[in-house]
A and B are shown apart, each in its own frame.
Chain A
Amino acid sequence: MSKAEKLYQERLQRYTTAMECGKPDKVPITFPLGEWVVKYTDTTIQEAYYNFDRTTEITCEIIRDLDFDLMYSALNLWWPPMFNAIGSKLYKFPGIHLEENSQYQYIEEENMKPEDYDEFIDNPTEWLANKFLPRINEEFANPGSYRATAALIKSVAAFAMANDKSAKASEKLAKEFGVVPYGTGMTKAPFDTLGDALRGMKGILLDLRRRPEKILAACEAIIPHNIAYAMITAAGDTTLPCFAPLHRGAYPFLSMEQWEKYYWPSLKAVIEGLWARGKRMFFFAEGNWTPYLEKIAELPDKSIVFVIDATDAKKTKEVLGGRFCLYGGVPTTLLTYGTPEEVKDCVKRVIDELACDGGFVLAPGGVVMSDAKRENIFAMIEAGREYGVY
């Protein structure tokens, strides 16, 4: 076994122990990959998004001398060519719609109309293929036409290329640097599936008052879809947790009453469905989830990795600690606006507060901003090793 392979096994063990709420030899630490890396290279964000090989190169360059366990996220999570090939209206990318050093942006529209609910509920997959795809992709506006067929083939080919490149990049990071990915596969809360790209924020918030029963029926119909999606995108892997970016469930988008009735039951059903298959959810609770901690505690023990962003860390430890692995603790704002000294103090505090009896991963609480400072990220990783030995 090579040195890197040995490191990989050690780090995987560390992470697995933490996910099982146990106490590993050291607190596992996450390296947050993101657009912030680009400004320390001679690359533009446009190139980092589009040129997969270059992205892997700059990733390897920046992590070369660092000692951490997990890598979170990817720079080309949404590889633009697969969207460009089919004329997607969902995103704006640098170099085409935005200047070359901008992050991509998401365009939220009401892509599903109120009158689409019944057809969607009846068969979500069929509705997505026949109605949704032509609406969100300019080149696929007329399914069956020569233009649409060519665009679909190009986009699917790009998707396959992206998956292949991404698998190879992971393999390289594992084999040469012993880096463990934080997760495999992706899914969402059914309410977010409905509220993100289908009805949009405004649409779903109005539905809460105008047609609440349709929301409930649609979320119910999405549950099996989202369980399957997680398992398919993870290619069946159950060692690592499945990423679930949770959006509209953050406080205060919804009132307590709305959250309990419309957001939580179907998300809980997805988590339980995955857990029955041995798959954990990486509960990416961006924003503040403090008011909902008691409800989240109803989940089966160890079925999620709970990510602490702006949620009250002390309260999280009180309510969820010991039963679920906690992850995060370092505010993303500190990584942008703070100094290495402040980051170090924060890491010490976080480890004292959250890591004591195990079941904890040190990481930024959310997506690191594109203007984060390298010295702060490095300080987080170094302090994590300094203070994080059990």
Chain B
Amino acid sequence: MLADTLSKAMAELEEEQVLEQVKERLGGGVAPLAIVKTLQEGMVEVGNRFQSGEYFLSELIMAGEIMKGAMDILEPHLSGESGEHKGTIVIGTVKGDIHDLGKNIVIMLLKGSGYNVIDLGVDVPKEKFVEALQETKAPLVGMSVLLTSCQEAMKETIEAIRGAGLDTRVIIGGNYIDETVKNHVGADYYATSATDGVKVAAEVFGA
């Protein structure tokens, strides 16, 4: 169980309490990064509760909103501090598909678990994926897809990544995805729920 009152308020989705405590701690001289870390512990608990079936989608979205509110307060104080993170992950919805809800939830949980996430947005062409991976040297790339007709776009993107000589691990995520789709497009991992994505990241980064 969470000992810190701020982590606990985050896990319980007590929006006002979270924002109040963040301001209080900042005013009391607590390092902003330490506050972020405490919030992340609450966020990890939100993910656990979602996985166990105690929390549903509305709780995940609410947690994201509260985190965003807290980060709005914290961000101006964070500049200059070296942002420690477990590693960089590039993520985007593949070309032809404009769905972003699932992608955004995964990003929220990954950030909550301490990763640096580069969000390429939706309808992302393969060139953009390759470019981002060359630039960031991220060891893991996530591709989100909802439309089955965009499967070929996913396959082509993965081929382009391999063609560029990158050995980035690839995880694909989406409602209809399974082992067959994973093998068809040539991905390394697949996920059908946001918490699966976090588990794969932990495996890849050994975190």
Residues of A with Cβ closer than 8 Å to B? 92, 98-99, 102-103, 105, 107, 201-202, 205-206, 208-209, 252-255, 258, 333, 336-337, 369-371
Q: Which residues of A contact B98 (CB under 8 A)?
A: 92, 105, 107
The closest CB in chain A to the CB of B149 belongs to A370
Interface string of B47-62 (1 = CB under 8 A from A): 0000000001111011
Give the interface of B toward A (CB within 8 A): 13, 56-59, 61-62, 65, 96-98, 101, 147-149, 151, 176, 180
Complex Cα distance A371/B64, Å?
35
Which chain B residues border A255 with CB–CB below 8 Å?
56, 58
Contact at B61–A205, with CB atoms within 8 Å? Answer: yes
- Taken together as a complex, chains A and B put the C-alpha atoms of A201 and B59 apart, in Å, by 13
With A102-B96, A337-B180 as contacts: A206 and B58 at CB distance below 8 Å: yes
Which chain A positions have C-beta within 8 A of B147? 103, 105
Query: Besides the contacts A253-B56, A258-B58, A333-B176, what 19 more A-B pairs have beta carbons closer than 8 Å?
Result: A102-B96, A102-B149, A103-B149, A202-B101, A205-B58, A209-B13, A209-B58, A209-B62, A252-B56, A252-B57, A253-B57, A254-B58, A255-B56, A255-B58, A337-B180, A369-B148, A370-B149, A371-B149, A371-B151
Q: Count CB-based A-B contacts (< 8 Å).
A: 48
Which of B57, B97, B148 is A254 in contact with, Cβ under 8 Å?
Answer: B57
Q: Which residues of A contact B59 (CB under 8 A)?
A: 209
- With a CB–CB cut-off of 8 A, which chain B residues contact A336? 148
- Residue ID in chain B nearest A35 by CB atoms: B149
Q: Which residue of A lies closest to B97 (CB)?
A: A105
Q: In the bound complex, how far is the Cα of B147 from the Cα of A371, in angstroms?
A: 10
A260 to B168 CA separation, bound complex (whole angstroms): 45
In the complex, what's the smallest C-beta–C-beta distance from A161 to chain B, in angstroms?
Answer: 28
Once A103-B149, A202-B61, A206-B62 are accepted as A-B contacts, the answer to whether A254 and B56 lie under 8 Å apart by CB is: yes
Whether B62 and A205, one on each chain, are in contact in the complex, defined by CB atoms closer than 8 angstroms, is: yes
Residues of B with C-beta under 8 A to A201 = 101
Q: Which of B13, B58, B149 touches A369 (beta carbons < 8 Å)? A: B149
List residues of chain B with CB within 8 A of the CB of A337: 180
CB distance from A128 to the nearest CB of B (A): 24
Specify which chain A residues have a CB less than 8 angstroms from the CB of B96 in the assembled complex.
98-99, 102
Cα distance, A214 to B98, chains bound together (Å) = 30
Residues of chain A lying within 8 A (CB to CB) of residue B151: 371
B residues within 8 A CB of A99? Answer: 96
Interchain CA distance A252-B194 in the complex, whole Å: 13
